[in-house]
Structure 1
């Protein structure tokens, strides 16, 4: 039995959530976005949100890189 991924099963998170999670600044993340090293935001009107799953994948990749 295959389970299909649904974006409705994911959370949209704010930059405030991301900075609190990581302890890094929003300026740092926007720099990473401009360099293509962090997921681009989903624009909802004038608001920016990220899929929590993409943020978690990015964070897991950083953890794995630090362990090599």
Structure 2
């Protein structure tokens, strides 16, 4: 289910939770410093800023991970 704010600028996905950097680093075993470097280089999805917090859609991080797996195994086109 997709819903929007009254400004139609932010999409909220009930079936796609927002995750934080702690979740990402636990999931991948990589450091937050490494991910922020990737973000600054344009190689990792940009965060959704909520106040001073950063969040990502879980599906975007999973898609990024799947692409890295395919590239490392030579399956990327």
Q: TM-score, normalised by structure 2?
A: 0.79
Question: Taking CA–CA contacts closer than 8 Å with sequence separation of 6 or more, which of the two structures ends up with the larger relative contact order?
Answer: 1
* Segments of 4+ moved more than 2 angstroms: none
Alpha-carbon distance in 2 for matches of 1:9, 1:43: 19
Higher helix share: 1
Structure 1 runs not aligned, ≥5 long: none
**How many aligned positions are there?**
64
Flag the structure with larger Rg: 2
**1:33-53 CA distances to partner (integer Å, 9 max, x unpaired)?**
000000000011111100000
Higher strand share: 2
Matches within 5 A, 1:57-68: 57-68=63-74
Q: TM-score, normalised by structure 1?
A: 0.90
Structure 2 runs not aligned, ≥5 long: 3-12
